[in-house]
Amino acid sequence: MDNSRRDFFKTATVPALAAAAFIGAPMALAAAEEGSGGALTEHTLPDLPYAFDALEPFIDAKTMQIHHDKHHQGYVNGLNAAEKALAEARAKGDFALIQHYSRSAAFNGGGHFLHSMFWKVMAPAGKGGGGEPTGELADMIARDFGSFEGFKAHFGAAAKAVEGSGWGLVHYRPADGRLLVLQGENQHKLSPWGSMPVMGIDVWEHAYYLNYQNNRAAYVDNWWNVVNWEQVAANVKALQASA
Ligand code: MN3
């Protein structure tokens, strides 16, 4: 191997994607070792930006602790394992388990991405959480959904009606600069290409069952009290800036 190629393997770094900054999920791209199958990113669990009990009474401390420390950590571990297995498959030229690890990377990657966003688009009620969006975000919502009340009705209905485990989501679509309300199943299904999440509510049972049991609708209705609209607006701005 010539020296320039060797230097590439030792020093190559790739600028962080806009999505990484926008979500705030900690990750570090390591330089690729020769023969390793390519660079690996180490994903790590982000800290919660508030205490476990900060969202009470709307989301209880025990749910937040288990959700962040156990469920989200599980997706981080699963994503790291899947990406490592895919690199090992490339190194060996053995793709016998390609379907398994591709699916696992999508599921766990979706879980890590969406939970990293979820913690940040919430804040304690009355201290950054709740109320209504203002400024440009308020104008976009009125333009794209008719009114804030229309948006809330659409989003709430979508979140309540997700079949099984999933998410109510708001995406930003750079091609026409508008917001979309979507349903997501599991951590990765039903999402169209070409748009990015800027806001979402986790409606897996692990997100609400201790406090609300089977009453997902009450959890979704109460969630408006902890939405951090400033963060949602910042997520939209970050995507507009990177488009
Ligand atoms: Mn969850």
pLDDT at residue number 24:
63
Distance in Å, CA 155 to ligand 1 centroid:
18
Q: How many domains does the chain have?
A: 2
Does one domain contain both 20 and 91?
Answer: yes
Is residue 23 situated within a structural domain? yes
Domain harbouring 141, CATH code: 3.55.40.20
Q: How far is the CA of 44 from the centre of ligand 1 (A)?
A: 16
104 and 185 part of one domain: no
What CATH number does residue 115 fall under? 1.10.287.990
Determine the pLDDT at residue 14: 45
Shared-domain flag, residues 64 and 142: no
Query: Which pLDDT value is given to residue 1?
Result: 42
Cα of 147 vs centre of ligand 1, distance in Å, is 29
* Cα 200 to middle of ligand 1, angstroms: 11
Residues 89 and 147 in one domain: no
Residues 7 and 116 in one domain: yes
The pLDDT score that the predictor gives to residue 236 is: 96
Distance 220 CA to ligand 1 centre (A): 14
Residue 59: predicted pLDDT: 98
Asked whether residue 51 is assigned to any structural domain, the reply reads no
Question: For the whole model, what pTM was predicted?
Answer: 0.90
- Tell me the CA–centroid distance for residue 152 and ligand 1, in Å: 21
At residue 64, the pLDDT reads: 98
Q: How far is the CA of 201 from the centre of ligand 1 (A)?
A: 9
| Domain shared by 144 and 104, yes or no | no
Query: Do 10 and 111 lie in a common domain?
Result: yes
How far is it, in rounded angstroms, from Cα 223 to Cα 3? Answer: 56
Q: Does residue 97 fall inside a structural domain?
A: yes
Q: Which long-range contacts (CB under 8 A, 24 or more apart) does 70-74 make?
A: 71/111, 71/115, 71/204, 71/206, 72/45, 72/111, 72/112, 72/115, 72/116, 73/45, 74/108, 74/111
pLDDT digits (tens, 9 = 90+) for 34-72: 888 998 999 999 999 999 999 999 999 999 999 999 999
Tell me how far the alpha carbon of residue 26 lies from the centroid of ligand 1, in angstroms.
18
For residue 91, report the distance from its CA to the centre of ligand 1, in Å: 33
Segments in the chain below pLDDT 50? 1-20
Q: Domain of 24? A: 3-44+60-120
Please give the distance, rounded to the nearest whole angstrom, from the Cα atom of residue 68 to the centre of ligand 1: 8
Q: Would you say residue 53 lies in a domain?
A: no
